[in-house]
Structure formats: C-alpha cells, structure tokens
Structure 1
Amino acid sequence: MFAKFIACEDGATAIEYGLISAIMAVALLTGFGAFSNAISNQFVYLSDTMTNSWN
C-alpha cells in the first residue's frame, strides 16, 4: 500500500501547475510594480515640465 502511494503521480501535475501559476503571479506583480513606478515618474516629469513652461 505504501509503495503504491509513493508510485502514484496523479497529484504531481496539479502541484506543478500550482507552482507554475504562483511563480507567474509573483513575476507579474513584480513587473507591475516596476511599470507603475516608471509611469508615475513620467507623469511627475510631465507635470513639472508643464508647470515650469508657464513661468
């Protein structure tokens, strides 16, 4: 019975898919954080440029 439990690989695929989706989620969140900072910096630069152009 124990040998049969060890040899069974039915749950391995689900675990692998779960790990892949978790890694992808972390990568997407990290990329979104970097992207949002870059966009924010661009808007601050644009705002400063427009403000200074009126002076």
Structure 2
Amino acid sequence: MYKMFSNFKKQLRKFIKDERGVTAVEYAIIAVVISGLILIAFNSELGEALKDAIEQVKTNLGTAKTNGTPPQ
C-alpha cells in the first residue's frame, strides 16, 4: 500500500512539473476572453453603433464603386 501511495505521489509531482501544453491552454483562455468581449460589444449599444458604422462604410464603398465618385 505504501509503495502504491509513494508511486502515486511521484507521478503527481512529475505531472505538476510537466509544462507541455501550457501555452496552448493559455491561448485557449485568451481566445475565450476575447470572444466574450466581442459578443458583449456587439450585443450592446456600442455594438449597434459599430454595426451602423460598418453598414455606412459598406454603402459608401458600393456607391463609390458604381458611380466612380467619392461619397459626400
């Protein structure tokens, strides 16, 4: 029983010291946070303002493309 417990402690220490894959986990956490911030931004008043601004740019680009003149 003692040998099994000792082996378990040894394996646990080895697992804790192993840093492989830590960077991938950190990047995954960062991606989740950024995704959450984007969702919050686009589901708020700021999101509506951003959507309106993007729509205006899209409209102006379409007008400039078809008329050949810059929008006023």
Do they fold alike, i.e. is TM over 0.5? Answer: yes
Q: How many residues matched?
A: 38
> Match of 1:31?
41
The higher relative CO (CA closer than 8 Å, separation ≥ 6) is in 2
CA RMSD after TM alignment? 1.4
Structure 2: gaps of 5 or more residues: 1-10, 53-72
Structure 1: gaps of 5 or more residues: 40-55
CA distance in 2: counterparts of 1:24 and 1:15, whole angstroms: 14
- Choose between structure 1 and 2: higher helix proportion: 1
Amino acid corresponding to residue 29 of structure 2 in structure 1: L
User: Percent identity over the alignment?
Assistant: 34
